[in-house]
Structure formats: C-alpha cells, structure tokens
Amino acid sequence: MTDNNTCPLCGAKDDSDEHIIPKWLQDQFSLKDQLVDLKNENTLQYCQMRLPICSECNGYFNDHLEQKVRKGDAIYQEYYLWALKIRYFAGLKDTTLRYEISDPSKGSLVSDKSANIGNDLITHLLTNLDNDNFSVQPKPFGSVFLCDNPINDGKFGMGDIAHPHWGFGIELPDNKLLFVLFMDRGMVKRDMIRIHKQRHRSLYDYLLDRPHHTNAGGESTNFLIKLALFRLLAHQLRIDNIPLIKNYRLNENGVFAKVPDKVKYRDKKDINIINLRKLAKYCQLSPQVAEYYYQSL
C-alpha cells in the first residue's frame, strides 16, 4: 500500500484530500453517493474516492487544470494531464483497498509496483504545469478526443482502464465526452483520422456508433463511453510499433519521445480474439462486442 503520510507527487506531508473524481464534477452530476465499480467487482462511493496529498499540490491542480476543464477552456494537453491525474490517483487509491475484505492475505486491489508504472513520467508532467519553459513532445503526449454526446441523457458515465492498456473516458459538462489514451504518443488518433478520412466518414460517427449487436445498455452514456473506449483501445492493440512505455527522455526542459512516421499493424492472427475479449471485460462489455470487432478486421 502507498505511504499515507506523504504527498505522492512532491513528498511533502499529506495534509489535504484530493477528490479523485473532482468535487465540482461530482456536484454537476450528483455523484456523491453513487457507486464506482472496482476491479474486484465491489463498489465504492464517489465521495470515498479520495487520496491524501499536500494542500499545495491540491491548490496547484485546481489553479492549473480543474478550472480550465470545468469551464471548457482547456487545450488538448491540459485535458490529457487532467485525465492522467485521475488515472494515476485512482491507481494509487486501489493500492489502499483490499482485494477481499475478509482475507487480508490476498493483498490490495493493485500492487504498488503496478500503480507506479510510469511514475517518473507522470510526476514530471504533473509537477511542471506552471513551468513556461517546459516542453512536451509530442503534444499532447497521447491521443485526446473531445466530442458531443449524442445520447444527451443527463447521466454521468466513465471508463477507466489501467496498465497495460491505459485508457480513460468521462462525461463532462455541456454534454461533452472526453477520451484519452495515455501512452500511444498520439498514434491512434492520427491513424484513425487518416482511415476515416479515406472512408469519407467522421471518426466520431464511428466511435460513437451504437450498432444493434451491443444490445442492453446501448442507449446510456455510461455504456457508450465504455464502447467507444473499447474501440480506441482495440485500435491501439492493432498497432505494432507504438513505442514502449519507457521509451522517452526526461530532463529539466521537458518530456521528449520519438514517434514513428508510419503505423505498422499486427496480423489479425497476432491480435488474438482472447486478448480482445479480455479488453472487453476490462471495459465492462460482453464478449460479443470483442467478437464483432474481430470479425470486422
């Protein structure tokens, strides 16, 4: 489990609580007493999704990220960092929760090692929000998608997928949906835009399409977010030359990573329907969704 006495970002005393799902967003969608699904199929109230950090970092995030996202004034890199903060803190929270309450020997939901994969990159990005001389290449560092919600049911939805897939989707105010792939260096978005331009079809028409095979849940925002996130992560799975997670350079001037000019795809046989079914399960979707996607390749 994580050290409950120090801030996970700066190491100062953790004298404050960070709402992992921001309080303003909880208020917007009346989430306080609603339930978040956990990895072990248990649940936790949104108001309990908090992580001890220092008050300085708490205020720092509010000034440099929260207000911009709340007002819809953020640029794509800021949306990326905001989502990255939520994903990272959710993973750290999971290290404090038992996999089975009645059996402590089974350990926590997530190991410290797993929750801290990419920690050097994440903390470097999140602690330089106010540094005007700090560069990020590529920028944004992953694929960021922001679009209108075609369902407009007024209900909240979220999908949070941990390592090794690392994807996130969430409902925002003004009927917006945000999707982020954290470690693909923007390759998925670039490739999907190219593909759908050739097909004379909007990327978002494909991403937010609700075909009949999806059956139950197809008219809810929460289901749509998980379905779109599956499609993005499945496309990521198809790309064979996304740089490895540690293939980046950090220094006081920023974060730098090389991105291949051309996308190389895995053969269909190498993608493996079993892996797609696992991905569908992570996204809380039926195996049928994975099979439909596999047949379409």
Residue 216 has pLDDT above 60, yes or no: no
d(CA 249, CA 246): 8
CB 10 within 8 A of CB 57: yes
Please report, for the chain, the start and end positions of each structural domain, with discontinuous segments joined by +.
1-101, 131-297
The tens digit of pLDDT for each residue in 110-138 reads 899 999 999 999 999 999 999 999 999 99
Residue 219 has pLDDT above 90, yes or no: no
Q: According to the model, what pLDDT value does residue 42 have?
A: 81
Residue 31's closest CA among 40, 39, 21?
21
Q: According to the model, what pLDDT value does residue 16 have?
A: 93
Q: How confident is the model at residue 262 (pLDDT cuts 50, 70, 90)?
A: very high
Query: What's the DSSP call for residue 46?
Result: G
Q: What's the average model confidence in pLDDT over 164-175?
A: 94
Q: Would you give the distance in Å from CA 274 to the centre of its chain?
A: 22
Q: According to the model, what pLDDT value does residue 212 have?
A: 58
What is the overall mean pLDDT for the chain? Answer: 91
Residue 285 has phi, psi (to 5 degrees) of: -120, 165
Distances (CA, A) of 81 to 87, 89, 142: 10, 12, 10
Q: According to the model, what pLDDT value does residue 104 have?
A: 77
Q: How confident is the model at residue 170 (pLDDT cuts 50, 70, 90)?
A: very high
The residue with greater pLDDT, 183 or 215, is: 183
The tens digit of pLDDT for each residue in 66-113 reads 999 999 999 999 999 999 999 999 999 999 988 777 677 778 888 999
Q: According to the model, what pLDDT value does residue 215 have?
A: 52
Q: Would you give the distance in Å from CA 119 to the centre of its chain?
A: 15
Residue 177 has pLDDT above 60, yes or no: yes
The angle formed by the CA atoms of residues 292, 296 and 176, to the nearest 5 degrees, is 75
Q: How confident is the model at residue 4 (pLDDT cuts 50, 70, 90)?
A: low
